[in-house]
Structure 1
C-alpha cells in the first residue's frame, strides 16, 4: 500500500513479495469500495470517455472490485465493452468478478449484458500483463505497482499491455487519508500525524524487505514519459465523508486504525499504543466505532499517459 492511500493493493500472501495477507483484507477493501463508490464512478466515466467503441479495460490488481464495478457501469452506459480483472488473490478476484457481473446484468438479463467481465488469476511479479489480457484500450492499476519489487519495470509491463492509441491510468500517490480529530480527548493530540509518520517508516521498510526490491527515484510522471507515453498528465479526486459520518465510515476507521496498529505499532511511542488500544476497545468511552467526530478525507492521484 502506498504511503498515502486508504486502500491496500492486492496480492496473494503465499506468492507475492510484500508478504501481506490480502485475502484477510476483503472486508476492509469492500468497506473502502463502498465509501469510494461515487468518486470511482466519476473517475471511470472520465477515463472511458476518450476510448473507442466497445473497448477493453484491463483492471490490474482489481481487489474487491470497486473500480471494476465503476468501469462496468461506465461501459454499459456507452454501449458495451470488456472488463478484464487481474488479481493474485482468488478470494478478491471472485468478489470483484461477482460484483462486476452484477453491474453488467443490472437492468437486463445476463445473456444480453453488453459488458463482458473476464477474470484472470495472475501474479504480476511473475507474469506479463500483455500475455494475460492485452492489448487493452485502457489499463488501470491502482496502488499495485508499489508492491512489486521493480516498480519501473512493472510500469513498463503495463505499458506493453496498452493498445496503440490507448491509455495507461496509474493511481499512485495523493494525500494521506485523515479520519481522526486533532484532539481525541485521550492521549496526546495529533495522533493522526504520528500514525502517518509510523506508516511511512513501515512503507520504507516494506519496500526494503521486498525480495529483489529496486529503488525508483523521481515521480510517476517521469517514469511514464521515460517509457515513451505521450500526453502525460495527472488528476486527483477527493473522497470526502465529513463528520458526523455514517456507521460505514466509523467501521472503516476502526479497521483502518487496527491495520495501522498491526503494521506500524512497533514504530509508535508506547503512550500512543495505549491510546490506540483505547480507541479500538468497544467497552471504552473513547471507542472509535461510536464517535460522532470520525470522518474520512483523502485525495488519490491518477497519472495518465497515451501510447503512440
Structure 2
C-alpha cells in the first residue's frame, strides 16, 4: 500500500454521503447536510484534487458517472481534472442535486453535467457505458453493495476504471485533552456513534478490496490517505467543526451522560465564550482509503 504526502487526501465526502445519516433534533436536516457537504468540499479541496490527479487512468475519460454525488464535490473535481469529460451525477436527494446544479452553473460547467435523481437501492437508471465510475463515501450506504458493485462492473466500458473512496470515520476536530471540563469528549461521542452505526450502517468499514475482487474487478491500486489540516486562521474549519458536531450530537444525545451532553452543548452554543468557533486549537483529522479497480 502506498501513502502520498499528508496534504494529498480527500474530500469526501464527501461524502458525505460520509454524513452518516445523523439527524439533529430541531434543525432542517436536509439544509444541515447540504451545508456540511459544502464545507467538506471547501476545507478538503486540495485532497479531493490530489485523488483525482492520482487516478491510474491512461486515456482521459469522456463519460464519467458519480454515484451518490451529494452536492457535487466529486463531480466538480472530476470535471476540473478531465476538461473534455461529461459527468452523470446520481443522488437520491433533490435538494443536493439542486445545489449541485447551482454550483455547476456558477463554475460555468453546467453543460457538462447530467443530473439524475435515483435510488440505487431500487432499480438502477440507464447510465450508459462510462469509462470512469466514481463512488465517494456512498458504497457503505447501499442496502446491497455487492449488487451495486456488480451493476458497476456490467456497465463499465472495457478498460474503464472504478474508483471507490471510503472514510475511516467522520473527522475529529478537537485536541485529545479538550474541552477543559470534559477531556476526551469527542472520542466518547464517536464511540457512542460507532455503536449506533454498527446496526444502522453494517457495511461501513467493509473490505472493499475483497468485495471488488468478488464482483469481478482487479484492484490495480489502493491507498490510505491521511488528512491533517491545521485550523488556525481558517474560519471554514471552525464552521465545519460546528456543523459536524451539531450533527454528531443528534446521533448520540441519548447515549451520553448528562455531563458530556452539557459540555458538548457548551461547545455548540455560538453565544458562549466556550463556543467551538472561538477555539484556536482546531484541526481536521481523518483518513480516506481509495481503491482503483478495473474489470477483470
The question of a shared fold, defined as TM-score above 0.5 by the shorter chain, is answered with yes
Q: What is the SS of the residue equivalent to 2:16?
A: coil
Q: Secondary structure at the match of 1:177?
A: coil
Does the C-alpha gap of structure 1 residues 162 and 221 become closer, same or farther in structure 2, counting only changes over 3 Å? same
Sort the Cα spacing of 1:32 and 1:218 in 2 relative to 1 into closer, same or farther, 3 A.
closer
Aligned: 1:57 with 2:64: yes
Greater mean alpha carbon deviation, residues 226-235 or residues 34-43? 226-235
Q: Residue deviations 1:180-210, cap 9 Å, x none?
A: 01222433211121121111112113237xx
The offset of 1:24, in angstroms, is 4.1
| TM-score normalised according to structure 1 size | 0.81
What do the CA deviations read for 1:235-288 (whole angstroms, capped 9, x no partner)?
Answer: 133333214241110011011111110012212222111110111112322110
Q: Does 1:93 pair with 2:105?
A: no
Runs of 4+ with >6 A deviation? none
Report 1 or 2 for greater relative contact order, CA contacts < 8 Å, sequence distance ≥ 6.
Answer: 2
2:288 aligns to what? Answer: 300
| TM-fit CA distance, 1:158 | 2.4
Q: Structure 1 CA distance, aligned partners of 2:266 and 2:71?
A: 30
Residue segments in structure 2 that go unaligned for 5+ positions in a row: 1-11, 22-27
Which residue of the partner structure matches residue 144 of structure 1? 138
Matched, 1:285 2:273: yes
How many aligned positions are there?
278
* 1:193 and 2:201 aligned: no
Distance in 2 between the 1:187 and 1:218 partners? 36
Residue number in structure 2 paired with 1:224: 212
Does the CA contact (< 8 Å) of 1:35 and 1:248 recur in 2? yes
Normalised by the length of structure 2, the TM-score is 0.84
Q: Which runs of 5+ in 1 are unaligned?
A: 14-19, 209-214
CA distance in 2, matches of 1:21, 1:64: 14
Paired position in structure 1 for 2:119: 123
Q: Deviations over 1:55-104 (max 9, x none)?
A: 2111111111111111011112xxx0211111111111122233235445
1:152-182 CA-partner distances (Å, limit 9, x unpaired): 2222222223211111111123355221012
1:177 aligns with 2:144: no
